C-alpha cells in the first residue's frame, strides 16, 4: 500500500512528546512490512535539522488557496533517519512555522489549518494518490474534512483516512474563521451538531470532532483509553461523537522503537547491557550519579520521572514521589519540561533547594541524551498520570530494566501488570507496580512496595526488572493492526 502520514511531529527531528515517536516508529514498521510510506510535516524553524539528511527544495511553486487568495508555498524534501519526509514552508507574512516553537502560539488553529490544507494541495497537485492518508491529533483533524468536502471533487475520490487521537485534551476548538480560511464556506452546514459544531461551546467549531466525523477509521492509542474516552470525562466532551461513530472507533496500543530504545546498542550509553549482562546496568547508575553530582551509595535505589510537567501527568504526585523517595532513603532524578508558567515556577523553586541535596536532582528542560542515561541508570520509574492515552516512558523503562510504578489508567493499564496483585497474569509475567487513586497515599502504596522489594529482596527485584525487559512492546503487533485497519478501509 501507498501510505502518507500527515502529522505535526516526527521524532527525532520534530518531537514535543510521544506523537513524534509514534509517527516515526509506525512509519518505519510499515516500510519494513513492504509498504511505501511518505510523511508530510510542517517546516518549523526550530526543528532538529541535524536529524534530517539531504534536505532540498523539491517543489517551488505550490499555491495553497487561503481565504480569497493563495499562499505561495515551497515543499522541501529530506530523510529523517531513513523516512522520506516532505516539509511545508509557506511564504506568508504570518511566518506560520517560524516561531521558535511547535505549539502554543495564539493562532495555532490557523497554523495547522493551513498545514492541513497545504498537505492535501501538495498531494493533489503533484498527483500523489496514496491508498491511505493517516493523520494525527487536532492539528490535522481538518484533513478528512477537506478531503471529503473539497479534494474528493478534484481527483482524490479513492483516498481513505485513518485518524489517530493521541490526546483528547487538545481538540482545536476555534471559530468560523477557519471555514473562511480553508474554503469550507458554508457556516450553517459545518456548524451542524453531527459535523464540526463543538459539543460544549455554542458557536465554536471543533477540528478534532471534524476528524472523527469524516475519517474512515478513528483510533486512540490504547484499548483502555478508547473505552475511557467513550464512556468517561476523559473524552473531554467528545463522548457522544465517539458513541455515534463507535463502529469505526478503536484503540491500538503504541509500540516502542526498539532500535532507538535499546540498552544494548544505545549510542548515548557508555555501558551497554542486555538481559544476559544486566549487571552492567549498575555502571550506568554510577555514570548518572557522576553526571548529576549525586552521592554514590550502593545501598540506595534510584527513582526517576521523565516526561512533561503537566496536570495530565499528575504533577502533584510527581512532586510527592520526590519527597517520599528521599524520606525512604532512595535517590530521585527528574527530567521534565513544563508548559504552564505556574508549574514551571513551582518546580524551579523545588530545584533551587533540592539540587543541594546529594540524593536528588531536578533537570528542567528537554534533553534526549540525558533521558537515555536516566532510563538506563534508574531502578524505578514513576508514571502517576491523571490520564494517559498510552504513555511511552513506562514501556521504555521496561526496555531498560527500570521497574515502572504507574497509575492504572489508559495505556498504563494495558502495559503494566502489578507484581503483587495482577491476577490476569502469571507471577513471571508481572512487570511493575500499579495504584489507582489520585492521592499521595495511593502513590505511596505502590512506590513503597517497589522500594520494599529493592531493599529486602534484591534478587526478586532484579528478576522483575528482567521480566520487564522480555516484554515485546515493539511496533510489530501495532504495525500489523494498523495494516489490518488500512486494508479494511481502503476497500470501502
Residues that bind ligand ADP (CB under 6 A): 17-19, 21, 306-308, 335-337, 366-368, 371, 390-393, 396
Q: How far is the CB of 153 from ligand ADP (least distance, A)?
A: 36
Are the beta carbons of 394 and 432 closer than 8 angstroms?
yes
Q: How far is the CB of 333 from ligand ADP (least distance, A)?
A: 12
Q: How far is the CB of 388 from ligand ADP (least distance, A)?
A: 7
CA pair distance 56, 54, nearest whole angstrom: 6
Q: Which is nearer to ligand ADP, 368 or 420 (CB)?
A: 368
How many CA atoms does the CB half-sphere of 175 hold within 13 Å? 3
Q: How far is the CB of 339 from ligand ADP (least distance, A)?
A: 10
Q: How far is the CB of 406 from ligand ADP (least distance, A)?
A: 11
Q: Which is nearer to ligand ADP, 66 or 168 (CB)?
A: 168
In the block, cell 511564504 appears at: 91
Q: How far is the CB of 214 from ligand ADP (least distance, A)?
A: 24
Q: How far is the CB of 195 from ligand ADP (least distance, A)?
A: 29
Find the farthest-apart pair of alpha carbons in the chain and give their distance in angstroms, rounded. 71
Q: Which is nearer to ligand ADP, 212 or 381 (CB)?
A: 381
- Measured N-to-C along each axis, helices 440-456 and 458-469 cross at an angle, to the nearest 10 degrees, of 110
Q: How far is the CB of 27 from ligand ADP (least distance, A)?
A: 16
Q: Which is nearer to ligand ADP, 151 or 482 (CB)?
A: 482
Q: Which is nearer to ligand ADP, 2 or 366 (CB)?
A: 366
Three-class secondary structure of residue 362 per DSSP = strand
Q: Which is nearer to ligand ADP, 122 or 475 (CB)?
A: 475
Torsion of CA 311, 475, 482, 9, to 10 degrees: 50
Cis peptide before 466 (omega within 30 of 0): no
Three-class secondary structure of residue 19 per DSSP = helix
Q: How far is CA 319 from CA 16, 58, 204, 333, 347, in A?
A: 22, 48, 36, 11, 8
Angular region, 42: left φ>0, alpha ψ -120 to 50, beta rest? beta
Q: Which is nearer to ligand ADP, 71 or 469 (CB)?
A: 469
Q: How far is the CB of 122 from ligand ADP (least distance, A)?
A: 27
Pairing of strands 83-90, 36-42: parallel
Q: Find how far residue 391's CA is from the centre of its chain.
A: 7
Q: Find how far residue 57's CA is from the centre of its chain.
A: 29
Closest-CA residue to 467 (of 420, 419, 421, 410): 419
Q: Which is nearer to ligand ADP, 89 or 222 (CB)?
A: 222
Residue nearest ligand ADP, CB atom distance: 18
Are the beta carbons of 235 and 220 closer than 8 angstroms?
no
Q: Which is nearer to ligand ADP, 178 or 390 (CB)?
A: 390
CA pair distance 78, 132, nearest whole angstrom: 21
Amino acid at each position: 500500500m501507498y501510505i502518507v502520514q500527515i502529522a505535526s511531529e516526527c521524532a527525532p527531528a520534530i518531537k514535543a512528546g510521544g506523537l513524534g515517536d509514534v509517527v516515526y516508529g509506525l512509519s518505519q514498521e510499515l516500510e519494513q512490512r513492504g509498504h511505501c510510506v511518505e510523511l508530510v510535516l510542517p517546516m518549523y524553524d526550530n526543528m532538529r535539522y541535524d536529524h534530517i539528511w539531504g534536505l532540498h527544495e523539491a517543489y517551488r511553486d505550490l499555491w495553497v488557496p487561503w481565504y480569497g487568495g493563495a499562499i505561495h508555498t515551497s515543499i522541501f524534501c529530506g530523510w529523517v533517519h531513513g523516512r522520506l519526509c516532505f516539509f511545508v514552508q509557506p511564504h506568508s507574512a504570518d511566518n506560520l512555522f517560524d516561531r521558535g516553537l511547535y505549539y502554543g502560539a495564539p493562532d495555532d488553529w490557523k497554523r495547522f489549518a493551513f498545514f492541513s490544507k497545504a498537505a492535501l494541495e501538495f498531494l493533489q497537485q503533484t498527483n500523489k494518490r496514496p491508498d491511505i492518508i493517516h493523520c494525527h491529533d487536532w492539528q490535522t483533524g481538518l484533513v478528512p474534512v477537506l478531503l471529503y468536502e473539497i479534494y474528493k471533487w478534484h481527483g482524490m475520490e479513492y483516498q481513505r483516512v485513518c485518524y489517530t487521537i493521541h490526546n483528547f485534551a487538545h481538540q482545536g476548538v476555534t471559530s468560523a474563521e477557519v471555514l473562511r480560511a480553508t474554503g469550507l464556506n458554508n457556516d450553517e452546514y459545518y456548524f451542524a451538531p453531527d459535523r464540526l459544531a463543538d459539543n460544549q461551546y455554542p458557536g465554536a467549531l471543533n477540528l478534532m470532532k471534524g476528524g472523527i466525523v469524516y475519517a474512515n477509521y478513528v483510533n486512540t492509542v490504547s484499548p483502555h483509553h478508547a473505552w475511557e474516552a467513550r464512556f468517561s470525562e476523559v473524552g473531554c466532551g467528545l463522548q457522544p461523537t465517539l458513541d455515534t461513530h463507535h463502529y469505526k472507533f478503536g484503540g491500538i496500543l503504541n509500540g516502542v522503537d526498539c532500535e532507538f530504545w535499546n540498552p544494548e546498542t544505545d549510542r548515548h550509553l557508555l555501558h551497554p547491557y542486555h538481559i544476559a549482562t544486566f549487571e552492567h546496568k549498575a555502571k550506568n547508575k554510577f555514570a548518572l550519579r557522576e553526571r548529576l553530582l549525586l552521592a554514590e551509595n550502593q545501598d540506595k535505589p534510584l527513582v526517576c520521572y521523565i516526561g512533561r510537567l503537566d496536570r495530565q501527568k499528575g504533577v502533584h504526585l510527581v512532586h510527592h514521589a520526590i519527597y517520599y523517595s528521599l524520606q525512604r532513603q532512595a535517590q530521585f532524578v527528574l527530567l521534565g519540561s513544563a508548559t504552564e508558567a505556574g508549574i514551571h515556577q513551582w518546580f524551579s523553586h523545588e530545584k533551587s533547594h533540592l539540587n543541594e541535596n546529594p540524593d536528588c536532582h531536578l533537570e528542567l528542560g528537554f534533553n534526549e541524551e540525558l533521558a537515555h542515561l536516566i532510563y538506563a541508570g534508574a531502578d524505578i520509574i514513576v508514571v502517576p498520570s491523571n490520564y494517559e492515552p498510552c504513555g511511552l516512558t513506562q514501556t521504555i523503562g521496561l526496555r531498560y530494566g527500570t521497574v515502572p510504578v504507574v497509575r492504572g489508567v489508559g495505556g498504563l493499564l494495558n502495559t503494566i501488570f502489578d507484581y503483587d496483585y495482577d491476577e490476569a497474569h502469571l507471577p513471571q509475567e508481572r512487570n511493575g507496580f500499579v495504584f489507582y487513586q489520585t492521592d499521595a497515599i495511593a502513590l505511596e502504596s505502590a512506590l513503597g512496595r517497589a522500594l520494599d522489594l529493592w531493599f529486602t529482596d534484591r534478587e526478586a527485584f532484579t528478576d522483575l526488572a528482567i521480566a520487564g525487559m522480555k516484554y515485546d512492546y515493539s511496533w510489530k503487533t501495532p504495525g500489523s493492526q494498523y495494516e489490518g485497519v488500512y486494508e479494511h478501509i481502503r476497500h470501502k
